[in-house]
Each structure stands twice: as C-alpha cells, then as structure tokens.
C-alpha cells in the first residue's frame, strides 16, 4: 500500500504481511551511493579518542558542538514502514528485530520474552551502545484478562549504581576523564537484573530459551554492519593497543570493516552460562570474579559485594495526559517526567494544526522554548532515593506546571536562568532502545546503555563483557562545565546512587486502557526531546515512519545553540531567518549523523505498524 509523505521525508519502503500470515517480511535492499561517505563524518562532535586519565586532564570532555559535520546533501538512509499486522518489534538492527519476532511468532512468546532476546542481541551486535555490562529502564504493559496478574504499566529501574566505595569528590582530583575511561568509570551493571524483573512481570517462555539463541549467534558469528563498522572506524582505535579488544574487533591487526565476519566465542560462553544459571550468574561466581578483576585491575573500586547487593526497582509507571491518550513513562532518575511536561506545554499550542502547519516558524520556536523549560526542570532531576525534592519532581509532569511555562513563552529566546537552568547540564550519550507489541496487546519499551561509545573501554578478559562508564553521568564537585555552570549537588556520586539519565521509554494507552503506542529513543541528552517530538508528529497526522523520520530540532539551553538536522532537501531559508530573528543560533548538521534515534510501534484501525529509525539504519519486523 502507498503511504503519503511530505517532500522533506524519505519515502518509506512499505513492508506488509501476507494475508495467510506465513513468513511475512521480505525487505527491499537499497544501496545508496555515497551514504557510507556521509556516515564517515558521523559523530565528529562526540569524543573522538578518549585518553587515559592524566595529571593535566581535569576538565570535562564537552563535545565541540560548533564542529558538528555540516549537511552533505547526500541521500538519506532508507526508511522502512512495517505493517499492518498483529505484532511487531522495532530495534536498531534488522537481525535483532527478526530474532525478537521469532520469539513472538514461532514460540508464541510475550512482548517481554521478545524484548529480552532483542535486548541481548543488540548488546551483542551493537556492543558500542549497550550490553549486559550496562543498565537502563524499561516499561512493561500487562494486558487485561491475561494470566499475568493485574493489568497496568510497570516501570523497571535497572540503572547502573555507584559502587559502595564511591564518594562525591572521587573525580575532583583525577579529572573528568577518570569517569569516562577505565575501571573507576564503571558503575554496577543492572541490565540482567532489569530483564529478570521484566520476565517475572510478563514472561512466558523459559529464560534459557530467550538467552541461548543470542549465545549461539555470538558463537557462530555475523557480518559487521554499517553501524558497527563506523563506530569501529571513528572510536575503536584504542582496541589496536589492547589484546582483549583486538582479539574480537582487530584479529588481523586492523579494525574490522563492513562485511567482515566477527564472532565473540568468549562472550558466547558467558551467555550460555547465564542461560543455564539465570541472571544471578553475573552477580556471583566466576563471572563476578572476572568483572571485579577487570575493574580493579584498571583502577576501579567495584567489589563482589556491590554486585551481590544490586537490585532492580519495579514501581508503577508515571503518566500524563496527551490528547485523548495517556502516556506512561519512567520516573527519576530517568527524564520521563520532564518529557511529559514538554508534551503538555506543546499540546494546546498545536491543537487544530496538521501536517506542515505544525512545523512553521512560530510552532518551531515554541517547540524550542518548551524543550528549554524541560531541560531547566531536568537540572533538578536526580535519584529520588537521595532527593529531598520529590514534590518538586512530581510537579514537572502536571498540567499546572506546563501551563505556567507555556505562559512564559514569548516571541524571543532568553538566557539560561530564564528557563531555570542554574547548574551544569549533564550530557549523557550512547544507548539503544527497542519497542515490542505482542499479539495479545502486551508491550515492552526498553532503553539500555553502556553510556559513551564502547563504555569504559574495559572488556573483561575471561567473559568478554564490555563494561559501562555510567559514572560519567554524575556531576563532579569543583569542576564547572565548559560554559562556567557549577555542578549540581543533587547529582554528585554517592554509594548506591544512580545518576541522572535522559532516557524516556514510553507506552501510550487509549481511553479503554489498550496499548496504541510503544516508543523510546537513544542519543544521550537528545532522547526525551526526540521521543516527545515523535509523539507530537503523530498528533499532527504523520504516519509512524514519517513521525520518526522527520528532521528534529534540539536545544538543551547550554551550549547556546539550537541544532537542526538537515537532509538532501536542504532548509527553508525564510523559516531559518525567522528563527534567527527570534534569537536562536541555529547550527545545521547532516541528518545521517544519527545523533538520536527513535524506535516505535503504534496501533491504528488497520493494525500494528512499526518503524525503526533510518538514522541508525534500523529496520523493524512484524507479522
């Protein structure tokens, strides 16, 4: 079927299921000349080569925003619209989406079952983004009339935790880079405990059946994808000097390139152990020994007790109204609450508008301002177990707070203090997201990360686990950021504390309590604004592919710049001039950079539709 799109969007390749619901998806392969060259400029504004901590390196590593790759004019990556069908998996890698779909279709598994396999698959294939050495957040929606207890949406916090020996000033002398590279950067990993908690809520298939297929893939190997190849090319040079990393990603003395064959036999053995013994195998025994040895051998402080005492927290998801729907998301230390606030600021401003009318100069200005108020609020978000401002955190998702900020939107932009930003904005990075909707109406929305690309650069020798550098998401006392803002005491490191996160996994219910949307994103501090933008695009009439693919604006107050994704269509100069006249400093960059990606599944009267973001070459799967 033909889908309508605007000239600003890549025409989606529509992949529809057959009526007999047999093997459904045949993907059209498109090779676009020049995309590889465009991707070569990818993420040049991020940390190119992260050195080991040294005496003269005490400042924060802030990406040079004004040096982002300019628009190239090259074609965009192909976009795929999957559906309509009965169920779907949207992830950043086609092989992992397909693997999750097999769990749904061939094994009659639930959304959580599929999400577990897909999450582990992404952690294998795109280990630069996530893995069992990291952590994150998840939402699980249990459908009515199921065998899994009370229906509703639960949130699972499996964010990495600061080790017991940590303290607020642990990076003040060593410098910011010590929180980014090496053993001292590693927080207690939580991904497996989070997946375990999700499985207890809404898992149907035995644990080993969900993990062992990924272990087998790690053993047999796979071809290096375009995404993995470019992350190796841009950020993998440190591997050449480390035999543990080189054995996997540079076995012949040179970094692997797209199309090469790669396997991870050591990691495969680890996954097989976890498949047989359960998630607890990572937190005690031989696997835990290897993690502690790797961290402490590289200057870290993580202990066996830290691993043994780690817990994932499950609680009711927070929610807010949006049109005639309810959006559920994750509470602090995630940024779901401020995402809800941003949505509620914008909702009345876009009512009655459709299509391009939602993206005019005035509406774009309002979106930027709403985003800034959300980032101002985010500067007060922290681990609620260490906070004395819980009432304040709850305010950010209320209609009253949104109305107060909306009233402060003027015809011009303002300084940082106007939006409530008084402390250093934390700029996290990396991450993966996947969204799953099953045939019974159950859903899982999972965001997981190792933080910066390739995490802490620590790979465990005996297990192949790549460890996070989540400690970098804490503020550092005495080290103002590159723009002179002081760090926030709310987000200083402390034993057992979880750092602020920009993630905002979301599940949308209609008035009858049925799931009509599952989405979330990756891309550090761009995550929650990107998720909000996609929801606003849907409200303005975009189909799910168009809503995901539409170019995005981003402004986090500091630095004083609004970034704008630009594709081969260029940009309307009158629109740009009007925003500039309102005080916005616009920096254009190539949309294929993939600064932030959204993976989404929706339900309409025709059925289930899914779209994975072309910015990361994602392809969803459905039947």
Annotated binding site: 159, 449-451, 473, 501-502, 524
Instruction: Examine the residue annotation and report whether 431 is marked as an active-site residue of this protein.
Output: yes
Q: First vs last Cα of the chain: how many Å apart?
A: 16
Q: Are 201 and 312 in contact (CB under 8 A)?
A: no
Q: Tokens 């799910």 label which residue?
A: 544
DSSP 200-244: HHH--S-HHHHHHHHHHHHHH-EEPPHHHHHHHHHH-GGGGG-HH
Give the three-class secondary structure for 338.
Answer: helix
Instruction: Give dist(CA 21, CA 296) in Å, integer.
Output: 52
The residues with which 562 forms a beta bridge, in sequence order, are 586
The residues with which 599 forms a beta bridge, in sequence order, are 520, 612
Q: Report how far Cα 217 is from the mean position of its chain's Cα atoms.
A: 23
The residues with which 188 forms a beta bridge, in sequence order, are 161
Q: Are 432 and 92 in contact (CB under 8 A)?
A: yes
Q: Helices 361-378 & 573-581, crossing angle to 10 degrees?
A: 50
**Measured CA distances, 230 to 63, 130, 233, 238, 265 (Å):** 18, 16, 5, 14, 23
Closest among 84, 188, 123, 209 to 605, alpha carbons compared: 84
Torsion from C-alpha of 567, 15, 598, 505, nearest 10 degrees: 170
Q: Are 345 and 407 in contact (CB under 8 A)?
A: no
- Upper half-sphere CA count for residue 214 (Cβ side, 13 Å): 30
Instruction: Give dist(CA 397, CA 328) in Å, integer.
Output: 11
SS3 content of the chain, % helix, strand, coil (to 5): 35, 15, 45
- Binding site members for L-glutamate: 159, 449-451, 473, 501-502, 524
- Selected catalytic residue, list 266, 329, 431, 503: 431
Give the three-class secondary structure for 267.
Answer: helix
Task: Calculate Rg over the CA atoms of the chain.
Answer: 22
Fill in the DSSP letter of residue 601. E
User: Which residues belong to the active site?
Assistant: 431
């Amino acid at each position: 079927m033909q889908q309508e799109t605007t000239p600003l969007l890549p025409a989606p390749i529509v992949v529809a299921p057959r009526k007999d619901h047999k093997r459904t998806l045949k993907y059209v392969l498109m090779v676009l000349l020049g995309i590889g060259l465009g991707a070569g400029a990818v993420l040049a504004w991020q940390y190119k080569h992260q050195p080991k901590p040294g005496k003269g390196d005490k400042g924060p590593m802030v990406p040079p925003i004004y040096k982002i790759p300019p628009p190239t004019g090259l074609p965009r990556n192909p976009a795929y619209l999957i559906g309509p069908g009965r169920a779907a998996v949207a992830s950043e890698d086609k092989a992992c989406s397909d693997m999750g779909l097999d769990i749904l279709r061939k094994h009659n598994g639930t959304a959580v079952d599929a999400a577990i396999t897909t999450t582990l698959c992404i952690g294998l294939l795109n280990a630069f983004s996530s893995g069992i050495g990291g952590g994150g957040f998840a939402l699980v929606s249990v459908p009515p009339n199921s065998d899994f207890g009370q229906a509703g949406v639960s949130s699972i916090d499996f964010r990495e935790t600061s080790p017991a020996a940590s303290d607020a000033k642990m990076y003040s002398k060593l410098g910011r880079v010590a929180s980014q590279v090496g053993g001292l950067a590693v927080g207690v990993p939580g991904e497996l405990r989070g997946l375990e908690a999700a499985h207890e809520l809404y898992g149907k298939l035995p644990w080993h059946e969900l993990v062992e297929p990924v272990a087998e893939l790690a053993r047999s190997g796979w071809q290096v994808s375009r995404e993995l190849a470019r992350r190796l090319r841009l950020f993998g040079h440190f591997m050449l000097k480390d035999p543990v990393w080189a054995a996997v990603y540079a076995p012949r003395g040179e970094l692997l390139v797209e199309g090469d064959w790669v396997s991870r036999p050591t990691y495969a053995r680890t996954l097989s152990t976890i498949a047989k013994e359960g998630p607890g195998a990572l937190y005690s025994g031989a696997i835990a020994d290897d993690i502690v040895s790797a961290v402490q051998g590289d200057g870290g402080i993580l202990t066996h007790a830290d691993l043994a005492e780690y817990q994932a927290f499950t609680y009711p998801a927070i929610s807010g109204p949006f049109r005639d729907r309810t959006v559920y998301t994750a509470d602090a230390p995630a940024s779901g609450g401020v995402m809800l606030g941003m949505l509620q600021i914008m909702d009345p401003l876009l009512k009655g508008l459709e299509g391009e009318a939602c993206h005019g100069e005035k509406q774009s200005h309002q979106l930027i301002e709403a985003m800034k108020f959300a980032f101002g609020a985010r500067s007060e978000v922290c681990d609620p177990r260490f906070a004395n401002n819980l009432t304040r955190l709850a305010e950010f998702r209320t209609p009253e707070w949104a109305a107060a900020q909306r009233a402060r939107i003027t015809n011009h932009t303002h300084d940082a203090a106007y939006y409530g930003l008084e402390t250093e904005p934390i700029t996290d990075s990396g991450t993966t997201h996947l969204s799953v909707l099953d045939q019974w109406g159950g859903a899982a929305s999972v965001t997981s990360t190792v933080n910066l690309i390739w995490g802490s650069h620590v790979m465990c020798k005996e297990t192949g686990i790549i460890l996070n550098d989540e400690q970098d998401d804490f503020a550092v006392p005495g080290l103002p950021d590159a723009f002179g803002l002081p760090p926030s005491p709310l987000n200083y490191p402390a034993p057992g504390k979880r750092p602020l996160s920009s993630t905002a996994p979301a599940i949308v219910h209609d008035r009858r309590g049925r799931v009509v949307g599952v989405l979330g994103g990756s891309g550090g501090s761009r995550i929650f604004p990107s998720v909000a933008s996609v929801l606003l695009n849907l409200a303005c009439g975009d189909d799910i592919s168009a809503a995901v693919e539409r170019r995005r604006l981003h402004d986090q107050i500091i630095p004083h710049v609004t970034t704008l994704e630009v594709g081969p269509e260029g940009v309307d100069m009158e629109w740009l001039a009007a925003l500039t006249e309102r005080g916005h400093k616009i920096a254009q960059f190539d949309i294929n950079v993939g600064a932030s990606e959204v993976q989404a599944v929706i339900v309409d009267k025709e059925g289930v539709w899914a779209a994975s973001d072309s910015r990361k070459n994602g392809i969803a799967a459905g039947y």
